[in-house]
Amino acid sequence: MAPTPAGRVRQRRALGRARERMEELQRRDAGKRASKRQARDKVVVSPSDPEAAVGQDKEGVYRPLYNVQAADDLDSPFVPGYQVFAQPNDAGLLGPMAARLRELLGRPVEELLADSAYAGGPDLAAAAAAGVTLYAPAPAGGGDPKQIPKGEFRWLPEEQTYECPQGRRLAYEGASRQKRSGPEAVVLHRYRCPPEHCRACPLKERCTPNPEQGRTVSRGEHEELIEALRARMGTAEAKARYRLRRQTVELVNADWKAHRGLRRFSGRGLVRVRCQVGVLVLAHNLLTLLAEEKKPRAEKAAVSPQKIPA
């Protein structure tokens, strides 16, 4: 307990904020599908920094965490935009970051290079809504590894159904809303190969554990966006463009951690953390500007002819 009445009042207020945050996190966890929910006693908050996410950082230390997002220009060392979020992963942040960049730049961003965490269906939908072309590794297909993968079933856009590896059309069964890792639900469309085809199929042992019911394939509401991303990233142009990310984003991240002390924040709370990152971005851009201003003078001095007296 704090030794003074004023200190105890501050402690009580802090515990009240932590309790509110705990209730918010428990409601969010209860909204997830059963396989992704945590035990009630595993949902925790930091009493000293209830806004922060709690988990292990990249060095294996369990502590309060904030997620720093920075957008780096591919043609210069400038950082045109940043934001800080109180969540442990990057899923679902592409939309907010695109809106943040539009706010800071005064115009929408046309292209973004990101890692695979931004390539989920909802993020791709947010990018499409914002008019952003995303370059990122396409998500790998899931499913039972013992079955013929879904990727071998050909989607027929004209007929709006799948064709199995044996050339049979799957029948549409309906749609349902299912939760994923978060409480938000996605629409899944389900297709089934008729059992009479599966029973006589030479691939039935590898395709389905129950030929009497027929093989089923699900298609998410954002599947076309994922397929478009996969096709885009398969081109030589996209691969060459994506290689630029290692020369920009990764270098800035390494510089901030190694030389700017961005491994631990000096204050608590989202407002203070955002201010600290804002000052860091401002210093980075000012140093970059000074370095860029020196380049033309240095180049001019290097190429100007020497005047030798007669």
pLDDT category at 36 given cuts 50, 70, 90 is confident
What count of other Cβ atoms lies within 10 Å of the Cβ of residue 226?
Answer: 17
170 & 216 share domain: yes
Stated pTM of the model: 0.79
34 & 84 share domain: no
Residue 301 tokens read as 């001095």
Decide if pLDDT at 301 tops 60.
Answer: no
pLDDT category at 34 given cuts 50, 70, 90 is confident
State which residues form the domain around 19. Answer: 5-53
Residue 249: inside a domain, yes or no? Answer: no
Tell me if residue 165 falls in helix, strand or coil: coil
Residue 251: inside a domain, yes or no? Answer: no
Cβ–Cβ < 8 Å for 178, 220 = no
173 & 217 share domain: yes
Average pLDDT of the chain? Answer: 86
130 & 270 share domain: yes
pLDDT category at 97 given cuts 50, 70, 90 is very high
Tokens 């709006």 correspond to what residue? Answer: 160
Residue 183: inside a domain, yes or no? Answer: yes
Q: What is the mean pLDDT of residues 71-92?
A: 88
Residue 287: inside a domain, yes or no? Answer: yes
Residue 257: inside a domain, yes or no? Answer: no
73 & 129 share domain: yes
215 & 178 share domain: yes
pLDDT category at 28 given cuts 50, 70, 90 is confident
pLDDT category at 307 given cuts 50, 70, 90 is very low
Q: What is the pLDDT of residues 191-240, one digit of tens each?
A: 999 999 999 999 988 998 889 999 999 999 999 999 999 999 999 999 99
201 & 162 share domain: yes
270 & 123 share domain: yes
Tokens 């009479």 correspond to what residue? Answer: 196
Residue 250: inside a domain, yes or no? Answer: no
Decide if pLDDT at 304 tops 50.
Answer: no
Residue 233: inside a domain, yes or no? Answer: no
Q: In b/e form, how buried is each residue of 108-140, taking b as 16+ CB within 10 angstroms?
A: ebeebbbeebbbbbbbbbbbeebebebbbebee
Position 65 scores a pLDDT of 92
**CATH number for 111:** 3.30.420
Domain count, the chain: 3
Does residue 310 or residue 72 have the better pLDDT?
A: 72
Residue 168: inside a domain, yes or no? Answer: yes
